[in-house]
Amino acid sequence: MVNVHVDPVFDDEERRHRIFSGDVIVYTGVPAVADFANFTRSLISELFAPEDPVTIHRSRTPRQLADDLIEFKPRFIHHPESIAHVRRITTALGADPGSIHADVPKLRTAFPDGGLNTGIAYAFQAHRDTWYGAPPQQINWWMPVWPAAAENVMEFYPRWFGTAIENNSSDYNYYVANTWRSRIKDFSGASDVRVHPAPVHGLPADEPRLCLVPPVGGIMLFSGDQLHASIPNRTPATRYSIDFRTVNVTDVREGRAAPRADVECVGTALRDFRRLSDGAEFSEDDVAPYDTAGAQGVKVFTPS
């Protein structure tokens, strides 16, 4: 059973424990989250000015949008203010910046169904982040930038938390995927041929789904081991959202984590996480239990 907690009062320790049990946490009306949304809206509005970013798909072709976002998304991700917002949000919600590591925040764009949905604007099918090399301690933080709707967000498939589902994660190697990251333009057209782990037999039409729609200024936290997907955007508006990921150092060292029932990918994303207080990386001793012995490829992607 998955519980959804809205504006809970429990502390970070209990929150992590509950998330590793499959619960989802939603906070509403968090000033630090509203600040990050506001900052991001300003940058996107500047990018597309004088047009409205929410309807930009009406005036630009998928190719133009891909070019715009290939330039913009890395600039947003690596903007020094972006990680500063992550630090302020996690601190405001009770996590100690000296005890958690985060990776850089990602901006997601979901254009109305039929629009750009490959490469730089990939619409994720049902997956666990752990199939993509995420450490089992990973907590995902997801927040809308403009108001979202049930027809354009993401959804969970809660009955699979902790229950194995046949999937092709064994085809995915995180260190090979790192070599694709500098070639995102190649995958942003008709052919996105990257490996995307998914359930081998799909999900039935009557699969129980959980869809939460936090308000702007709100944020939702869930385990990277939850089975979830971007849903096809059935609204006329482009959905912009931010997600980032954290892990707690003690959880990593003591192995406290989500179940990871059916993960067979190669490699780990743990080296991408930096301590929020000072930018420190995990040591190779910390990473080793989560790595795959002998795995070859690019361990850490460095943007050019």
Question: Three-class SS of residue 37?
Answer: helix
- Single out the residue of 163, 102, 176 nearest to residue 135, CA to CA: 102
Rg over alpha carbons for the chain, rounded to the nearest Å, is: 18
Residue among 218 and 224 whose Cβ is closer to Fe ion:
224
Interface with Fe ion: number of residues (CB under 5 A): 1
Q: Which long-range contacts (CB under 8 A, 24 or more apart) does 92-97 make?
A: 92/30, 92/31, 92/32, 92/33, 93/12, 93/27, 93/30, 93/32, 93/219, 94/11, 94/12, 94/15, 95/12, 95/246, 95/248, 96/12, 97/275, 97/276, 97/277
| Residue placing its CB nearer to Fe ion in the complex, 23 or 129 | 129
The nearest distance, CB 290 to Fe ion, in angstroms, is: 18
The CB-of-198 to Fe ion minimum distance in angstroms stands at 12
Smallest gap, in angstroms, from Cβ of residue 119 to Fe ion?
Answer: 16
- Contact window for Fe ion (CB under 5 A) among 76-84, 121-129, 184-192, 254-262: 121-129
Closer CB to Fe ion, 56 or 139, in the complex: 139
Residue 88 CB, nearest approach to Fe ion (Å)? 23
Tell me how far, at minimum, the Cβ of 279 lies from Fe ion, in Å. Answer: 24
- Is the separation of the CB atoms in 28 and 88 below 8 Å? no
Determine the interface stretch with Fe ion among 16-24, 48-56, 77-85, 123-131 (rule: CB under 5 A). Answer: 123-131
Binding span for Fe ion by CB under 5 A among 54-62, 127-135, 155-163, 174-182: 127-135
Sole window of 56-64, 128-136, 167-175, 266-274 interacting with Fe ion (rule: CB under 5 A): 128-136
Smallest separation (angstroms) from Fe ion to the CB of 128: 8
Sign of CA dihedral 210, 135, 80, 302: negative
Cis preceding linkage at 50, omega within 30: yes
Q: Are 8 and 25 in contact (CB under 8 A)?
A: yes
Is residue 225 at the binding interface for Fe ion, with CB under 5 A as the rule? no
Stretch of 129-137, 175-183, 248-256, 279-287 contacting Fe ion, by CB under 5 A:
129-137
Q: How far is the CB of 228 from Fe ion (least distance, A)?
A: 6
Residue closer to Fe ion (CB basis): 18 or 228:
228
Whether the CA torsion 211, 76, 54, 64 is positive or negative: it is negative
Residues 6+ apart with CB under 8 A from 34: 216, 217
How far lies 54's CA from each of 68, 202, 239, in Å?
Answer: 14, 31, 7
* Cα 278 versus chain centre, distance: 22
**Cα 239 to the chain's mean position, in Å?**
15
- Residue 88 or 228: the one with the smaller Cβ distance to Fe ion is 228
Q: In this complex, which beta carbon is closest to Fe ion, that of residue 53 or of residue 133? A: 133
Among 129, 225, 272, 291, binds Fe ion (CB under 5 A): 129
> 260 in helix, strand or coil?
coil
Please report how close the Cβ of residue 55 comes to Fe ion at its closest, in angstroms: 26
What residues make contact with Fe ion under the rule CB under 5 A? 129
